Amino acid sequence: MATHNSDVPPGIVLVVLGLLALVLLWCIFKLTKLFTWIVYRILTQPGFWVIVSLFLLAEPNTRVHGVMIVLFVIFLRCQSSSDAINNHNDGYHYYTDPVGSSHQFTSMASNVQRHSAAPWTERVTIRKANNKEFKQVKDRFTRQWKKGTCGRLKEVLLIDNPKLKSRFQVYLSSLSEPTVYRYYHGTKLQCNIYHTVSFCSDEDCGICGISQHGFLLEYKSTNIPNFQRFGDGFYLAPNSSKCHDYTQGHGYYRAMLLFDVAQGKRFIIKRNNTTLSEPPPGYDSVYGRRGTSLNYDEIVVYDPDAALPTHILIYELDGIHKIAV
């Protein structure tokens, strides 16, 4: 009886095995919430697209080699990305608005010394929010305006400050309770950032200065020097209306900052304590609860790396009167 030769060409076997390997990698990284980030890293590598182009232009009998090269590159990129993430002890943390809505905050803390950053992470950029981002910030800004007429939000600028982000993430990883909340901070606006969408060099412009350099120890308590309810620290609040009282505008507009704050374990207090210069032992921040001394909540951090500026909110209300004292 004649036998039927069912041998499969080696090239087809390699292609099938390669595709199965891709599917396996996809499943693994999808389950660990890293797939999207890794694909982005791969697709932004020029070498990847060169290999893909060579594969598409190659003769049919050499395409098997092209497939294996592409798979090999993908494997190396996935492996190196996964190793880097594991070595840096990254993870997913969550911050919660004081009003209760929860958001995901992705910690990508690198293994760097505090106050240091790689040369390519020094540049600070801002951009206008898209319609979806603007609506999210506006809804929150309006919802957390608790007294008087709400300001009319005109523009939201997103801040990308890699150096501050790196310092913030290192600080966050040092906390026993790495919780992140969002708070507002009112300060001076001394430029026309609404139209220029760029930072100014005026040393008195708190909006531009803090966006670029974060909170600085030498400027601590200089915004409202006459009274520091909980000592020398950096003050923020969950209510946009409270921070409005500490803004000073330019032209027709005012502005305040929105921060991610690594509040850690909060020391809750209802009475003034102007002697504080740091949280009590065992705590990472001081949270003033409305009641005896306060009409509205506020939080104080004493380490500048505990607060990361993320948004500039530009709005109109009550002209541009001076900061309340």
Q: Which are the contacts of 170, defined by CB distance < 8 A and separation ≥ 6?
A: 109, 110, 112, 114, 305
**323 lies in some domain:** no
Does 106 lie in the same domain as 76? Answer: no
pLDDT in tens, 59-101: 555 555 556 565 555 555 554 444 333 333 333 233 334 433 3
**275 lies in some domain:** yes
Residue range 200-213: mean pLDDT, rounded: 94
Please identify, among 87, 120, 147, the residue that sits at the C-terminal boundary of a domain. 87
Does 133 lie in the same domain as 273? Answer: yes
Mean pLDDT for all residues in the chain: 76
**212 lies in some domain:** yes
Report the alpha-carbon distance of residue 315 to residue 248 in Å, rounded. 11
CB 274 within 8 A of CB 221: no
Does 96 lie in the same domain as 78? Answer: no
Using 50, 70 and 90 to split pLDDT, how confident is the model at 287? very high
Looking at residue 299, which CATH number applies to its domain?
A: 3.90.228.10
Q: Kindly report the backbone phi and psi dihedral angles of residue 46, in degrees, each rounded to the nearest multiple of 5, phi listed first.
A: -55, -35
Does 118 lie in the same domain as 182? Answer: yes
11-15, 69-73, 99-103, 138-142: which has the minimum mean pLDDT? Answer: 99-103
Does 119 lie in the same domain as 27? Answer: no
Report the alpha-carbon distance of residue 291 to residue 164 in Å, rounded. 34
Does 270 lie in the same domain as 157? Answer: yes
Does 200 lie in the same domain as 123? Answer: yes
Domain residues for 230?
Answer: 91-316
Using 50, 70 and 90 to split pLDDT, how confident is the model at 198? very high
Percent of the chain with pLDDT over 90: 46
Does 253 lie in the same domain as 305? Answer: yes
Does 173 lie in the same domain as 49? Answer: no
Report the alpha-carbon distance of residue 14 to residue 35 in Å, rounded. 24
Please identify, among 53, 87, 121, the residue that sits at the C-terminal boundary of a domain. 87
Does 252 lie in the same domain as 180? Answer: yes
Computed over its alpha carbons, how large is the radius of gyration of the chain? Answer: 26
**58 lies in some domain:** yes
Q: Which of 171, 154, 152, 155 is nearest to 163 (CA)?
A: 171
Tell me the H-state helices in 109-239. Answer: 131-143, 162-173, 193-196, 206-213
Q: Is 0.85 surpassed by the pTM of this model? A: no
If one counts every other C-beta atom within 10 angstroms of the C-beta of residue 31, the result is 9
Report the alpha-carbon distance of residue 211 to residue 314 in Å, rounded. 14
pLDDT in tens, 251-279: 889 999 999 999 999 999 988 888 888 99
- Tracing tokens 């060409």 back to the chain, one arrives at 9
Say how many domains are in the chain: 2
**5 lies in some domain:** no
Does 158 lie in the same domain as 40? Answer: no
